[in-house]
Every structure is written in C-alpha cells, then in structure tokens.
Amino acid sequence: MAIDSVLLRVLRAFTPFNQRLFLRRLTKEEVNLINYFRTLPERDRIAVRYMCTAIHKTSPKTSG
C-alpha cells in the first residue's frame, strides 16, 4: 500500500476522532491507524495534524 493511501486512512480516522472520543470505543482499524500514526516521522505527523485541523475547520457543523 502506498504511503499516501495510508495517510488518507489515518486522516479519516483522526478527523472525527475528537468528536467520538467519549461517545464510543475505537474500532480495531482505528486503533491500528493511530498506532501507525505514532510510527510516522515527525514531519509526516505534523502534516497529518495540519490536514486534520483544516478538514475539521472547513467541514460543515452538525448538531446532534
């Protein structure tokens, strides 16, 4: 699997992560992605954080 597709999967797991933190347990795939995120070089972790922040700030707000 290419690193780009792995980063996209990490982004998908992390983008709604803060909203779900106390709502439900993480799936095994989400846990694996978070563990993978921890193994990335620092520059890649920073890039993922910036992309997650951008996605979060530009996504439409939903009221629950």
Note the pLDDT tens digit of each residue in 6-27: 666 776 666 555 555 555 677 8
State the pLDDT confidence band at 64, using cuts at 50, 70 and 90: very low
Decide: pTM greater than 0.75: no
Does residue 24 fall inside a structural domain?
yes
Does residue 51 fall inside a structural domain?
yes
Q: 10 and 17 in contact (C-beta within 8 Å)?
A: no
CB atoms within 10 A of CB 18: 10
**What domain count does the chain have?**
1
CA distances in angstroms from 38 to 10, 34, 49, listed in the order given: 11, 6, 12
Does residue 43 fall inside a structural domain?
yes
Across all residues in the chain, what is the average pLDDT?
73
**Residue entry with tokens 């996209």:** 8
Does residue 63 fall inside a structural domain?
no
From its phi and psi, is residue 40 left (phi > 0), alpha (psi between -120 and 50) or beta? beta
Does residue 64 fall inside a structural domain?
no
